[in-house]
Structure 1
Amino acid sequence: MRIKILFVLLIITSVCKAQYSFSGYTNPEEWDKSVYLSIVEDYRKMNGVYVEQIIAKTTADDSGFFEFDGNMLDNENRIYRIHVDKCSVNQQSINHFNGHCNDSEALLFIAKNTDTLKLPFSFGNQVFCKVKSNNPKANAFLKIDSLKNEMRFAYSEFRSEANRKLNNKKWFHTLQNFGATLNEPIAELYIYAYLSDRSSDLHNYYVEDLKHNNYYDQLKTRLEERYPNASYTKQYLNELESDRYMLSAYHGAKTSHWSILLYSILGVSICINLFFVYRLWKRNTSKIDELKAKLSKQEQVVLEHLLLDKTNKDIAESLFLSVSTVKTHTHNIYKKLNVQSRNDAKSLFTK
Structure 2
Amino acid sequence: MYKSFLVFIFTLFGLQLSAQNAVSGFVNFDDSEAWKPKIYLSQVPLSGLEHNKRQMRIAIADIQDNGFFKFDKKHFSDSNKIYQLHVERIRQIVNDTVTTNVTFMLSGKDKIEFKRGNQVFGEYSTTNHADKEWQKLKAFESNLVSQYLVQGEMTDSRKGFVKDSLQILMVKLIGIKQLESKQLLDKDISENPSYYLDVLADLKESTIDASEYWFLEKKTAYLTQMVMEKELQKSRWLNMGLGFLVLVLGVVIIGMKKKRQAVLISGLSKQEKTVRNLILQGKTNKEIANELFISLSTVKTHITNIYSKLNVGSRKELVQKSTGTST
Length-normalised TM-score, structure 2: 0.53
- Residues 20 and 112 in structure 1, CA contact (< 8 A), matched pair in contact too: no
Matched with 2:61 is 58
Larger radius of gyration: 2
- Residues 131 and 139 in structure 1, CA contact (< 8 A), matched pair in contact too: no
Matched with 1:190 is 174
Matched residue type, 2:89: K
Matched with 1:83 is 86
Helix, strand or coil for the counterpart of 1:139?
A: helix
C-alpha displacement at 1:186, in angstroms?
Answer: 0.9
- Output the CA distance in 1 between the equivalents of 2:27 and 2:217: 42
Deviations 1:283-336 (A, max 9, x none): xxxxxxxxxxxxxxxxxxxxxxxxxxxxxxxxxxxxxxxxxxxxxxxxxxxxxx
Helix, strand or coil for the counterpart of 1:81?
A: strand
Helix, strand or coil for the counterpart of 1:86?
A: coil
Matched with 2:25 is 24
Matched with 2:156 is 170
- Output the CA distance in 1 between the equivalents of 2:17 and 2:123: 29
- Residues 112 and 124 in structure 2, CA contact (< 8 A), matched pair in contact too: yes
Helix, strand or coil for the counterpart of 2:84?
A: strand
Q: Note the residue ranges of structure 1 that are not aligned, 5 or more in a row.
A: 1-14, 92-100, 157-162, 249-351
- Residues 26 and 65 in structure 1, CA contact (< 8 A), matched pair in contact too: yes
- Output the CA distance in 2 between the equivalents of 1:17 and 1:128: 20
Helix, strand or coil for the counterpart of 2:172?
A: helix
Matched with 1:234 is 211
Matched with 2:132 is 139
Matched with 1:212 is 191
- Residues 133 and 167 in structure 2, CA contact (< 8 A), matched pair in contact too: no
Task: Map 1:292-303 to 2 at 5 A.
Answer: none
C-alpha displacement at 1:67, in angstroms?
Answer: 0.9
- Output the CA distance in 2 between the equivalents of 1:226 and 1:51: 24
Task: Map 1:100-115 to 2 at 5 A.
Answer: 103-115=98-110
Task: Map 1:1-351 to 2 at 5 A.
Answer: 19-30=20-31, 32=35, 33-40=37-44, 42-47=45-50, 50=53, 52-86=55-89, 88=91, 103-122=98-117, 125-155=118-148, 163-165=150-152, 167-177=153-163, 180-197=164-181, 200=182, 203=183, 205-213=184-192, 214-227=194-207, 230-231=208-209, 233-236=210-213, 238-244=214-220
Runs of 4+ aligned structure 1 residues displaced above 6 Å come to 15-18
- Residues 87 and 103 in structure 1, CA contact (< 8 A), matched pair in contact too: no
In the alignment of these two chains, the number of paired residues is 204
- Output the CA distance in 2 between the equivalents of 1:246 and 1:110: 32
CA shift in 2, pair 1:164/1:87, >3 Å? farther
Length-normalised TM-score, structure 1: 0.50
Helix, strand or coil for the counterpart of 2:100?
A: strand
Deviates more, 1:28-37 or 1:64-73: 28-37
CA shift in 2, pair 1:152/1:128, >3 Å? same
- Output the CA distance in 2 between the equivalents of 1:193 and 1:226: 17
C-alpha displacement at 1:141, in angstroms?
Answer: 2.5
